[in-house]
Amino acid sequence: MTSLYAKDVNVLNKEVFNLIKLLPGIVVLLNKEKEIIYFSTDAALHALIRDGNLSVDELVKFVHGLKSDFFQANTQINHQSPNSATSQKLEVDALQIDNHHILLLLSDLTSSLRIEQIRRDFIANISHELKTPVSALELLSEAIKESGDDIESIKKFAEKIPKETRRLANFIQDIIDLTKIQSDNPLEKAEEISVASIIDEAIEVVESIADKNEVEIEVINHNPELLVSGDKKQLVTALKNLLLNAIYHTGNDKKVFIDVLKTTYFVEINVKDSGDGISPEDQLRIFERFYRVDTARSRQDGGSGIGLSLVKHISLNHGGRAMVESKLGFGATFTIQLPLKENI
C-alpha cells in the first residue's frame, strides 16, 4: 500500500518522488509536520503503519525528536511484528531531502545479526568438536602408558581408540561434504533417478546400525515409477542422515517408517520416528550446522551435528526443501521434498 496526499505533490519534486517509490525495502516519507505522505509495501508488512500513522513508539519518539535543521540521523529500534514470532531489530536512517520532507529508510538487522551469531557458533563448534576426540585420544594414550604390564587395562583402553578416531574422521568428512555441497550445483550434471532406488540404497547403508540398535525400518508406498533429477549420491546421503537420526531417536516400539507421497509438482520422502518429539523452538533451528536438540545423546551416538544441515543443503540444491513436523511426546517426521522429474 502507498499513499501520497495531493497537497504534497506540488511541494515535492515529482522526479524525486518517483525515485523514492523505486527504493527497495522499508521506506516512509513524512512532510514537515512529520505526517506520513507515503509508505512502501514493506513498511505495511512490518506493521509499522496503523491508520496512516507510525505505530511503533520508539520510532515515533525518534521522529519527533528530530530538529528542524537536522540533515541526517540514525538509530536502532526493537519491534515486535504480529507477522513474526520473534522481535526484530530495525536500523532507522532519517534524511531531510528538502525543507519540507523527511525520508525514513529502515532495514531489518535481525537476519544479519543471526548470520553473524551462526558464524561465531560455527567457529566455536568446530574448535570444540575437534578438541573433544583429540583430548579423548590423549587421555587414552596416557592411560595405556600408565597401565604398565596390566594387559587387560591396555586392551580396554586400546579398544576405545578406534571409536574416537572414527568420530574425528567422520566429523572432518562431514565438514568437507557440507563445504562441497554448499558450493555445488547438482542439477548441472543431473541424472534421472528412481526415488525407490534412493530409498533402497539409503536403507542398505544404515542397515547394520539399525540392526545393532534393534530398529526395524518399514517402507510405505514404495513407488518405483517416481523419478527425480539430480545427484544420486547426494540424495542417498540426505536420506541416510534422516534415517540415522530416526534410528537414534525412535521410541520403545523400535520402528522407523519411510512414507513416499506424490503431489502435483513434488515427491515427498517422509521419515517418521516415535521418539520424544521436538519443541517448536528447536524445530526453528534443527537444520542449522552443529545444532543439537539432545547434546549428550548426539555425542554418545557420535553425531557431528552436521547431518541435518547436509539434508537441508542437498534438498535446496535440488530445487526442493527439507522440513520437520513434530509434537513433543509424539515423535517427529522429517521430509525431503523434491521436484518430480516431469516438472523440471
- pLDDT (tens digit per residue) in 227-283: 999 999 999 999 999 999 999 988 888 999 999 999 989 999 999 999 999 999 899
Predicted pLDDT at 161:
77
Alpha helices in 24-150 (DSSP H): 41-45, 57-64, 110-146
CATH level 2 (architecture), domain 6-108: 2-Layer Sandwich (3.30)
- pLDDT of 194: 94
Sign of CA dihedral 237, 243, 244, 246: positive
CATH entry, 110-183, from 2.130.10.10, 2.30.130.60, 3.90.1150.10, 1.10.287.130: 1.10.287.130
User: Is 278 in a helix, a strand, or coil?
Assistant: coil
Domain limits of the chain?
A: 6-108, 110-183, 186-344
Residue 4 has a pLDDT of 46
Amino acid at 242: L
Question: Which residues are bridge partners to 326 per DSSP?
Answer: 332
> Ranked by mean pLDDT, which of 127-131, 186-190, 325-329 comes out on top?
325-329
Q: Which residue has the higher pLDDT, 120 or 197?
A: 197
Burial of 118 by CB count in 10 Å (0-12 exposed, 13-18 middle, 19+ buried)?
middle
| Cβ neighbourhood burial of 312 (10 Å; 0-12, 13-18, 19+) | buried
297 pLDDT above the threshold of 60: no
Phi-psi region of 228 (alpha: psi -120 to 50; beta: other; left: phi over 0): beta
Least confident residue range of 2-11, 34-43, 84-93, 228-237: 2-11
**Does the pLDDT value for residue 1 go beyond 50?**
no
For residue 9 the three cell numbers come to 505533490
Question: Position of cell 587414552?
Answer: 140
pLDDT computed for residue 5 by the predictor: 44
Instruction: Calculate what percentage of the chain has a pLDDT beyond 90.
Output: 40
Residues 15-33 pLDDT 10s: 778 888 888 889 999 998 9
Region 43-49: what's the mean pLDDT? 87
Please tell me the least confidently modeled range out of 164-178, 253-267, 327-341.
164-178
More confident residue, 266 or 172: 266
Does residue 16 sit in helix, strand or coil?
helix
For cell 554418545, the residue is 300
3-state class of 315 per DSSP? helix
Confidence of residue 328 (pLDDT cuts 50, 70, 90): very high
Using one digit for the tens of pLDDT, what is the confidence trace for 190-216? Answer: 899 999 999 999 999 999 999 999 999
Work out the pLDDT band at 299, boundaries 50, 70, 90. very low
Any idea what the Cα angle at residue 117 is, between residues 23 and 306, rounded to 5°? 115
2-6, 222-226, 279-283, 300-304, range with greatest mean pLDDT: 279-283
**Is the model's pLDDT at 167 over the cut of 80?**
no
CATH topology of domain 186-344: Heat Shock Protein 90 (3.30.565)
Q: How far is CA 283 from CA 154, 159, 321, 325, 334, in A?
A: 44, 37, 15, 8, 11
Helices (H), 151-304: 151-182, 195-212, 232-249, 280-285, 295-301
- pLDDT recorded at residue 68: 85
As a whole number, the mean pLDDT across the chain is: 82
